[in-house]
Chains A and B, each alone.
Chain A
Amino acid sequence: MGAVEITKDRIEQIEAGHKVLAEFRYDPPQVEQGYAGQTLYVNVSDNVISARPVDEGMKNTFVGGRGFDLWLLWNAVTGDTKWDSPGNEVVIAAGPMGGITQYPGTGKSIAVTISPLTGTVVDSNVGGYFGPLLKFAGFDAIEVQGIAEEEVIVLVDGNDGLVQILTAPEESVNSHLLSEEMVALFAQKPQEKQGVSSVSAGVGAEHTRVGCLNFSFYDPRRQAVRLKQAGRGGIGTVLRKKRVKALVVKYVGLKGDSNHPADLLTIQETGAKMHREIYERDPIMFEMRKDGTNHLTKIMNDYDILPVHNFRYGAHPEAEKIYSPHFQEYFEYSAPDGCWYGCTLACAKFATGLELRSGPYKGQTVTVDGPEYETVAGIGANCGIWDAHAVLEANFYCDTYGIDTISFATAMAFAMECYEEGILNREVTGGLELNFGNADAMLEALHHMGRGEGFGVIIGQGIRRMKQLFAEEYGANAQFLQDIGMEAKGLEYSEYVTKESLAQQGGYGLANKGPQHDEAWLIFMDAVNNQIPTFEDKAEALHYFPMWRTWFGLNGLCKLPWNDVEPADNRTRYSGIDAARVPEHVQNYVEIFRAVTGREDVQSSEDLIHMSEIVYNFQRLFNLKMGFGTREHDAIPYRSVGPVTDVEYESRAERYDGQLREHVGLDPGAMTTQEKRLALRRFREEQYEKLIDAVYRRRGWDENGIPTLETVRTLGIDFPDVVELIENHTNG
């Protein structure tokens, strides 16, 4: 069933191109209580490889995962480092809980870099086997710095204790081929295939700023390599800039106690309980095992939250065409779908029999993981493409080209609106008719990104750069572009309409890396259930939930098993915002963290939140170090706040008129649509500023959004360079 067969001749051809540029031998350490105790530094400019110790201070302050990534990157770059500077790094780590097999969702890796989209630090989390296997191979994190003179791969062999930088002139670049080649090359026998995982991008990552990383895992039942994506922020673009085709780890010999936890029994008990809960509850809750995250598309359309036509609207009559049943016919259900061992929530889906109708692999029948909700909502609804096959085909090509489906979709939807508004035309697009719903044009623009030619390459630079270009070159109204361009901090929005949820406007606008929903998802709590009515309530939610969700990234965990399934008594034992926190699951995490690390000082959920506050504030200050991280960079486009155009206003006129009456004290009957729209805008924009004030206060930041000296001292991150940074920005 494997989609790609790598022949013996092909392997020999690839091997013939290998030349060892650098080699580093080490004694693989035994992982103890979740930590290997060292990180791996690789410089592909100078061909230097070394191991760096992890001390207790680093563990206690930064925990692991995203925390380790940020600390290593902070020490590697200056405020002047750009995404394409040799000094920039791609840093990848799991975390102390990463790699346990007994609890669902424990195989995540977290990648960070200086982003080509935002110019500052970005983080992205991803499944697949790389992070855990890297740890068991002996390293809590890997830093890749420099720019190689020729194409290379970096191999970490945790069984032999060997790290190599190898020339790689013959390997494929596109990930669906490259990842299979890496398994064929480095698994000496079939049983070793699950022990090989690679990180790669693709040709699209080279030609755009929206490159993603593909993390692989071998599926023994389907006999195929599968790919999960660290999508956000262009990390794949940075990897290809470094001329790294792949990072490869090999570790054969995983067992249920490879993490050497302090207390295996607690992990077994908690894990077995959670597996049972999923067995009993998932079929009557969200059916993640059957549909994956795309079960959300129907819910979002029902609640007017599904982005349609570049976030103009929240629902569409044709949305049913991209609901789960239309993808189920492609899914193959014969085997477990977890992206790490023991994930019984199993939201990864394996689509087979996809016959490609476009691009370099046209006519081939391929497999692809997914699609995730974000991909369906973005490429489908937001671009008005009500065609499951087209969504899957774009998903396949985005993955193998190394392109983030979210930035791709949101940037495409922006370009489509610009086309329909007459800002772009066929002459400018080179013949592409970028109307909403034109699947062929969408796919062709994607292939432009793969080939590095055509208008698609401009779309691939992201919305912030398109806005500038369209205003400067095509005379577009810069304010209109600012209003409809769904980016903040330079990153494209993920796929939720936030117009009716002030809290979620903040959830996106205040997110450290830019508007991604992994920090906070408060729309139901805020706009549907009205559980956080005041600014203080919203600010509290915008403290707790981003901190809580950050914690997953410190530990190599997936967020989904926290609240995409709930204990049977969750809504009877708890109500409102308390139920939304899923206290029993939070307690599971407290216990497992302690059981892995042996840290007896961690006793409650507050202790977990405290870990996140340290790293979260450090990341905010990292933004400041890179020239961002202040109030002006928390601004958001008006399309995310309210109706930009009269047509949008009229589409939900009853709702908006009611708000003008109730909240603003105006009589909409006496006003034109434009007058009403502008009055609503003034009101909503003021609300957003008040929200920001409340959140800054709750987080211990000054009114410009900078953590105060008192805050960093309380958190224990008052390092001399941090204090100097804050003083430079607050005294001047």
Chain B
Amino acid sequence: MKVLVTNEELCIGCHLCEDVCSQAWYKEMNRAKSSIRITSLGNAEWGMAVCAQCGECIDICPTNALYRDKSGVVRLNKKECVGCLSCVGFCPTSTMYYHEDYVEPIKCISCGLCTKECPTGAITIEVLSG
């Protein structure tokens, strides 16, 4: 299963990953629309929050809009989604997001675009077995 792996010690808080994510998926440089979030922890330390593809959201979805694809990534079928945000509240890592411009939540699909832009290698994509 493809999953993003973060190393917070390497993060310098440049937010490039957030920009590239929102630009790729919402055609807009808007960090509030990114599915990866970088937050300052003070003292030049940064928190990195992104979906671990654990799939717990699949079980909470009332419309079967969330599913695991062949490569193991948890994806959202927006056509089926009714925007209830149950998945947002029940995400164990709080890495499902929403924005008022959209009724459906914002979900990382491990596309890896952010890993290519990260200048320090703080975020990488790995293929985990199972």
A residues with a Cβ closer than 8 A to B are 101-102, 191, 194, 220-221, 254-257, 264-265, 268, 271-279, 334-336, 338, 341-342, 344
Contact = CB atoms under 8 A, between A and B. Distances in A.
A271 B87 CA distance: 11
Interface stretch (B3-11, B20-28, B41-49, B77-85): B77-85
Given A336-B86, A344-B90, 4 more contacts: A276-B89, A276-B94, A344-B86, A344-B89
Interface centre among B62, B90, B100 (most CB of A within 10 A): B62
Interface of B: 59-64, 80-86, 88-90, 94, 98, 100, 103-104
Nearest to B88: A272
B83 A255 contact: yes
Contacts of B85: 101-102, 256, 268, 271-272, 275, 342
B50 to A, nearest CB: 18
Contacts of A338: 62
The 9 closest A-B pairs by CB, nearest first: A256-B83, A275-B89, A342-B84, A256-B103, A265-B100, A101-B84, A276-B89, A272-B88, A336-B62
Nearest to A106: B84
Given A221-B64, A264-B100, A336-B62, A342 B82 contact: yes
Contact of B90 (A273, A275, A341): A275
A194 B103 contact: no
30 contacts: A101-B85, A102-B84, A191-B80, A221-B64, A254-B82, A256-B83, A256-B85, A256-B103, A256-B104, A257-B83, A264-B100, A265-B100, A268-B85, A268-B98, A271-B89, A272-B85, A272-B88, A272-B98, A275-B85, A275-B89, A275-B90, A276-B89, A276-B90, A276-B94, A334-B59, A336-B60, A338-B62, A341-B62, A342-B62, A344-B86
A275 B88 contact: yes
B61 to A, nearest CB: 7
Contacts of A334: 59
A641 B36 CA distance: 61
Nearest to B81: A256
Interface centre among B82, B86, B90, B103 (most CB of A within 10 A): B86
A127 B98 CA distance: 27
A344 B82 contact: no
Nearest to A257: B103
A274 B85 CA distance: 10
A194 B82 CA distance: 12
B89 A341 contact: no
Interface centre among A220, A257, A272, A275 (most CB of B within 10 A): A272
B59 A335 contact: yes
B128 to A, nearest CB: 25
Contacts of A221: 64
Contacts of B100: 264-265, 268
Given A264-B103, A279-B89, A101 B82 contact: yes
A256 B104 CA distance: 7
A147 to B, nearest CB: 38
Nearest to B92: A279
A334 B58 CA distance: 11
